[in-house]
Chain A
Amino acid sequence: MKIIEIENLCKTFSTTFGKKTVTALNDVTLSVEQGTIFGLLGQNGAGKTTLIKILLGIVFPTAGSCKMFGEDFTNLHLKKRIGFLPENHKFPNYMTGKEVMTFFGKLSGLENLYLTKRIDEMLELVEMTKWSKSKIKTYSKGMMQRLGLAQAMLNNPDLLFLDEPTDGVDPIGRKEIRNVLLTLKEQGKTIFLNSHLLSEVELITDRVAILHKGKIIREGNVHELTSRKEEYRIIVDSELESKLNESLKEKYELQKISSSTYLIRVDEQRPVNDFVDQLRSHGISIKEMAQEKNSLEDVFISLVKAEEKN
């Protein structure tokens, strides 16, 4: 089931007197399936936050349509099923963590009895229980992010929007946030993630879309985007050169990385299975074999550069 359906979405911002216009989103079409983690990637100013803000009714689209849970996105009651962690959010700094949670929980329509229980659970989940009675003004950036995440999950949302959730969080905290997100995914929740920390996105997202200057330049699952179809890294128990015959060496493009590690390029005419058969027939034992991958960062940079050239 599609949780988010966006069609031909456009957003143009104008200055006060309309002299200058900035196109933030240009004909964006995408959809997000239930129970997945979707990553929206892009440089600063690419339009990622604008897209989330449109879905949440914070910014109004210039053209196009959006649906969430099969309904028009402007229906206010849909927000009861949504959680949001904005980028650089500001909580009232005179409140304590628990007071912030109580206030926003009530604003989300939660009843007192459930809310009290839920606040304790969420603060525990993000490891903020110890700080729940401290004023927000004493919190570090990482603590603010944790509290923001707890606040976003307070109403047990089916769809969670996270704008740079690991911003300012230390590596251990990031791992914990990743684990929380993966647990939510296991529970069937859908997560829409905005980030420019590509290595993080790569670790948890199912699908990603790359947004450049308001346009989607690539969308697909992470494996599709990052795999290099024709290359395999292979680790064997002995040196290959002396054992392979010349015809095999000529047939396959073999690159030695270390004494027992090789990179092999294959294609439709030279399938990898044939190469494995050949190794076995020569009595060579394969210790490890894996398809070579690009990092998401490599893919992102090459796509953006290509787009810039065009």
Chain B
Amino acid sequence: MRNIWLMTVFTLRESISKKVFIAFSIFVLLMLVGVFFAANLGFGDALKQSPVGFDKIMIMFKMGTANFVLSFGFLLSIFACASFIPSLLEKGTIDLFLSKPVSRAQLLGGKYFGGLLIFFIHIFVLICGIWLIAGMKYGHWDISFLWLLLSSLFYFAILNAVLLLFGVLTKSSGISMMLAYLLMFVSPLLANREKIFVLFPDKNTLKAVIDGIYYALPKLHEIQNIPKILALNEGKIEPQILISSFLFLLVVIYSGFYLFEKSDY
């Protein structure tokens, strides 16, 4: 555990030195300032009189704001974390690390958790900040909003695993970044595939392929919506969303670790 922690802190330090951490922090603070001013625009009374109900409209306001900001947060996090594995694997660096009494799994694990920690620090500030602003301004202290912390962490854990695997495989932060972005953008399309199928009703093979891809890939879009469903008590969460996404995470992480264990450097 000590070695994993050392590598995690080392990764945090690396991101601070590359100014990405600071850029991310500035982004989060700017977003919070924006939310603070939006909350002070004086539409509180109008919200209270809304026929939808104050609680519901507050949850939707908070979720909408948080998800909007988080979308940019995910893009920034991918950008911030994509270079961690390739920089470890650079010639002259990896030799130093592998010559120490530290297992390869600990080295890679520390880097992975380092990425998660950087992300978590920022979304913790962001989500708790939005929650505090809404609570102080409108007296709305709904705890279920904080589910966003967990769902976002799970969402980024999957993306970070993709960065890890393709970082080990290609040693290129560019390729890893592109694939993580691709996964992010494909996920809403796959989640709404039924609407796309209407466009070509006779192509059953194509539908089967797309269905296959949907079940094989993580359900990022649905994961992002879980807190909203929980907070608004809108229907059930399908277990397959969590199970298949978790399996994807495990397979991708295991493949990354396996490749790293077996590779020459």
Contacts and interface: CB of A to CB of B under 8 A. Distances in A.
A76 B103 contact: yes
Interface stretch (B87-95, B176-184, B210-218): B87-95
Interface bracket on B: 20 to 34
B102 interface: yes
Interface bracket on A: 20 to 34
B222 interface: no
A161 B96 CA distance: 12
Contacts of B102: 76, 107
A15 to B, nearest CB: 12
Interface stretch (A88-96, A113-121, A192-200, A269-277): A88-96
Contacts of A103: 6, 10
Contact of A104 (B13, B95, B100): B100
A158 B91 CA distance: 25
Nearest to B87: A92
B265 A58 contact: yes
Contacts of A95: 13
B96 A60 contact: no
A252 B198 CA distance: 105
A161 B101 CA distance: 15
Contacts of B92: 86-90
B99 interface: yes
A80 B99 contact: no
A78 B99 CA distance: 10
Contact of A89 (B96, B98, B265): B96
A248 interface: no
Given A53-B95, A108-B100, A108-B101, A90 B264 contact: no
B90 A109 contact: no
B3 interface: yes
B100 A107 contact: yes
A301 interface: no
A220 interface: no
Contact of A84 (B13, B17, B96): B96
A106 interface: yes
A60 B100 contact: no
B55 interface: no
B264 A107 contact: no
Contact of A79 (B13, B14, B91, B100): B100
A60 B103 contact: no
Interface in A62-85: 76-80, 82, 84
Contacts of A77: 101
Contacts of A289: none
A52 to B, nearest CB: 9
Nearest to B9: A103
B236 interface: no
A94 B17 contact: yes
Given A107-B3, A108-B101, A86 B96 contact: yes
A60 B262 contact: yes
Contacts of B97: 107
Contacts of B95: 53, 56, 58, 84, 86, 89
Contacts of B265: 53, 58-59
Contacts of B10: 92, 103
Nearest to B16: A94
Contacts of B94: 58
A56 B100 CA distance: 9
Contacts of B6: 103, 106-107
A188 interface: no
A156 B101 CA distance: 14
A91 to B, nearest CB: 8
A87 B99 CA distance: 13
Interface in B77-121: 90-103
B86 to A, nearest CB: 13
Nearest to B18: A94
Nearest to B99: A84
Nearest to A135: B17
A107 B103 CA distance: 11
A89 B90 CA distance: 10
A107 B252 CA distance: 27
A57 interface: yes
Contacts of A108: 100-101
A58 B17 contact: no
A112 B72 CA distance: 41
A144 to B, nearest CB: 10
Contact of A57 (B90, B93, B96, B98): B98
A58 B264 contact: yes
7 contacts: A56-B95, A58-B99, A58-B264, A76-B101, A90-B92, A90-B96, A161-B99
Interface of B: 3, 6, 10, 13-14, 17, 90-103, 262, 264-265
7 nearest A-B pairs in the assembled complex, by CB-CB distance: A94-B17, A84-B99, A90-B92, A86-B95, A79-B101, A59-B264, A107-B100
Given A90-B96, A91-B96, 6 more contacts: A57-B98, A78-B101, A94-B17, A95-B13, A107-B3, A108-B100
